[in-house]
Amino acid sequence: MAKGLAKGLIIAAPASGSGKTTLTLGLLVALRERGLAVGAVKSGPDYIDPAFHRAATGRPSVNLDSWAMGPDLLDGLAARAGDGADLLVCEALMGLFDGVAGIGATGTGSTAEIAARTGWPVLLVVNAKGQSQSAAALVKGFATYRDDVTIGGVVLNNVGSPRHTALAGTAIEALGIPLLGALPRAPALTLPERHLGLVQADETEGLGERLAALGRFVGEHVDLDRVAALARPSRAGTGTDAPALPPLGQRVAIARDAAFTFAYPHLMEGWRAAGAELLTFSPLADEPPPADADAVYLPGGYPELHAGRLAANHRFHAGLRAAAERVPVFGECGGYMVMGETLEDADGVTHAMAGLLGVRTSFAKRKLHLGYRRAELLADGPLGPAGTVLMGHEFHYASTLGRGDDAPLLKATAADGGALGDLGGRRGLALGSFVHLIARG
């Protein structure tokens, strides 16, 4: 199939917790079982869902972010995600129209903006627990809220009986919107969660069996043929092939294991396409960065769950310090914490980290930091010259006990334009912050 011509649809809901992930993964598996080449993308800033998409489809999944990404980048990623696919499924974030107050690169970050830009119809998942005909009023509101967003069909979730399905479904279809499935309550199919969302795909026990069960479940209760027939080609352009962020170097060493997993697929894909070679190493296995790398990237993840092991891995620490003497070492969120002086875990135990930066962090008293960030570089470096605008987000529960005397890396504002002041730190060739970068502004 030609680039960008895959037909697409969006799985969205009125709110989080409605069943989007269950339906998305089940559809991906069930449609793939029917012989379709199925691709997936995720709306908004999320590291965890794309890994589940990849496990379900056998293809990479990327994020489409209408707040952080410019139109050309957004269109290019959507086009490449559909290359070679018969059908592309976009999983929404939160509720369909939920975004932020400020305006980013393209809009407020809502999935509705992806729907409006691409023309992909929305399959709305409605949690029917505690309601029947009232579900139709909710669907009518979603169908008429924006003229440029099309609700192509509805799947009910958490239905209690055939009568429950008939009451809600008849009222919805009276609106002229087809009911394409009804999922009964099935708590046994729930995927395990932790504090930042689902337990990661490569840590989920029996993932293959769980995905197969979701595929059977959705295949039994959803009209797959009618769902596939909803999909439409994107009306957006094919966009740009340029990377969202230039590569940190020609040979980039990337920490990759259970403690360092939050690397955006679209960044890795863009770096490879730009000619960079990506080398992985495992801090948890006490591996240092490869000696021939000309840049080191420590992405986010869950270092707080492995702080004792990381503190004891002296070969990793020594190798990281040696690398920082000759090449840039960049850390995001969890990677930034590991580059710091100390990390206090949830039990109040303090662990020594690599000491490349002066930051000291703690999980003993959790505090949520969440939101988009528009950041300006305060000095020249591997991320660009001073003044470069970078778009990203924060999502973590760590508290900062101190930042030492390092120079700040970024000056940032929130999505609504509120000033956040200086963020992160830089010392020599070491630099990092809690911001997960998504694209240049």
CB atoms within 10 A of CB 373: 24
Residue 376 sits in the same domain as residue 341: yes
Residues catalogued as catalytic: 333
Residue 78 sits in the same domain as residue 153: yes
Can you give the pLDDT at residue 192? 67
Amino acid identity for residue 437 in this structure: L
Residue 288 sits in the same domain as residue 327: yes
Is 239 among the domain residues? no
Q: Which two tokens stand for residue 168?
A: 């809600």
Provide the number of structural domains found in the chain: 2
Can you give the pLDDT at residue 195? 53
Residue that finishes a domain, picked among 203, 233, 263: 233
Give the 3-state secondary structure of residue 111: helix
Residue 117 sits in the same domain as residue 150: yes
Residue 187 sits in the same domain as residue 41: yes
Residue 227 sits in the same domain as residue 264: no
Q: Which parts of the chain sit beneath pLDDT 50?
A: 1-4
What is the CATH classification number for the domain harbouring 329? 3.40.50.880
Residue 157 sits in the same domain as residue 106: yes
Is 241 among the domain residues? no
Residue 67 sits in the same domain as residue 201: yes
Is 61 among the domain residues? yes
Instruction: Give the tens place of pLDDT for each residue, 301-322.
Output: 999 999 999 999 999 999 999 9
Is 146 among the domain residues? yes
In terms of Cα–Cα distance, which of 329, 324, 259, 331 is closest to 296? 329
CB atoms within 10 A of CB 111: 30
Residue 401 sits in the same domain as residue 301: yes
Q: Is 260:304 a contact under the CB 8 Å cutoff?
A: no
What is the CATH classification number for the domain harbouring 206? 3.40.50.300
Can you give the pLDDT at residue 5? 58
Is 218 among the domain residues? yes
Residue that finishes a domain, picked among 177, 202, 233: 233
Strand locations in 104-176 (E): 122-127, 151-159
Q: Which two tokens stand for residue 350?
A: 């303090």
What residues form DSSP beta bridges with 216? none
In terms of Cα–Cα distance, which of 142, 41, 49 is closest to 95? 142
Residue 139 sits in the same domain as residue 55: yes
Give the 3-state secondary structure of residue 393: strand
**Element of type H or E holding 255:** strand 251-255
List Cα–Cα distances, 128 to 10, 164, 165, 181, 265, in angstroms. 20, 9, 9, 12, 34
**Element of type H or E holding 374:** strand 369-377
Helix spans in 236-328 (H): 265-273, 307-312, 314-324
Residue 174 sits in the same domain as residue 33: yes
Is 238 among the domain residues? no
pTM of this structure:
0.94
Residue that finishes a domain, picked among 186, 203, 233: 233
CB atoms within 10 A of CB 400: 15
DSSP summary character for residue 66? T
Give the 3-state secondary structure of residue 312: helix
The position carrying tokens 């005909």 is 133
Q: Is 308:351 a contact under the CB 8 Å cutoff?
A: yes
Angle, CA 399 vertex, CA 422 and CA 64 arms, to 5°: 70
Q: Which domain holds residue 57?
A: 7-233
Q: Which two tokens stand for residue 176?
A: 């002229």
Is 243 among the domain residues? no
Is 267 among the domain residues? yes
Residue 222 sits in the same domain as residue 259: no
Give the 3-state secondary structure of residue 26: helix
